[in-house]
Every structure is written in C-alpha cells, then in structure tokens.
Amino acid sequence: MNKTKTSKIIKWARQKSPWLLHFNTGGCNGCDIEILSLLTPRYDVERFGILKESSPRHADILICTGPVTQQVKPRLQRIYDQIPEPKWVLAVGSCSCSGGIFSGAHNILGGIDKVLPVDMYIAGCPCRPEAIIDGIVKLLEQIR
C-alpha cells in the first residue's frame, strides 16, 4: 500500500472516531452536564463514533469547560502533554473562551487559551448540546 493510501485511511479513521477527554477547569458544571447529555439517548453522539474516555492517553480531543483557575493550570498543562499527537482542544462555554462572568476574579487566569492552543471555541452560557455537536462536526471537517 503506498503512502497516500495509508495516510487517507488514517485520516478517515481519525475523522470517524474521535475520542473525547473531558476536563472541567473551574466551571460551574452547566456546560459539563450538557456535555454529558451528549452521551444520553436524546443526542447520542456514539453514532458519530464519539466515545468519552477517562484516560488522557486514549483521547484525541480535549474538551475543556470553565475558566482556568490558578490551582488547575499546571494540571491542565500536564494532561494536555499526556495526550498523544495529533490532538485538538475544544473550549466549550463562554468561561473557557474568555473567562466569562468570572473574569477579573482573584483566582482566575482567563480562558483556556491562556494555557493551551485552542482549535475551536463554542460559546454559550451554558452551551447547548446542539452547539457542541456542531462545533465537533466543524472541527472534524477541519481535519480533512
């Protein structure tokens, strides 16, 4: 099999089965429960090949919610480093985009992009599950 065919198959596999790792970096839980709702029968993202994984080593996409607090920052960096390449970062919710309603507080550094390179911002307070699915689909199209 030549190189282009192999790389095509790998790209197809990456697009058709992105595995998520979810990390709450200091949010209020609103966006987190909407992300968990994605797995439930109403939205059912498993039909897109998406699985929610528990270990950073198994994941392709890191979904972050919440503003980055000072205590969480080194842990977030460590988790990102543990995810094998290629990896993508999704910032879900207004807090992870920019700090949201909490920006300016004594313990808040800002949005996720103060620590990691973000590939997709999905705004909302809290973000609707439909918007999260839309964001993931647009991200997967970017991989193409």
58 binds another protein (CB under 8 A): no
Phi, psi of 115 (to 5 degrees): -120, -40
Q: CA-to-CA distance for 85 and 130, rounded, in angstroms?
A: 27
Residue nearer to another protein on the CB measure, 9 or 33: 33
Q: Which residues have C-beta within 8 Å of that of residue 17, sequence separation ≥ 6?
A: 49, 50, 51
Q: Among residue numbers 72 through 91, which ones bind another protein (CB under 8 A)?
A: 72-73, 75, 79
- 135 vs 116: CA distance, rounded Å: 18
When asked if residue 30 is in the footprint of another protein (CB under 8 A), the reply is yes
DSSP lists the bridge partners of residue 19 as 51
Assess 14 for contact with another protein (CB under 8 A): no
Return residues touching another protein (CB under 8 A).
Answer: 21-37, 40-42, 54, 56, 66-67, 69-73, 75, 79, 99-110, 113-123, 125-126, 128, 131, 134-135, 138, 142
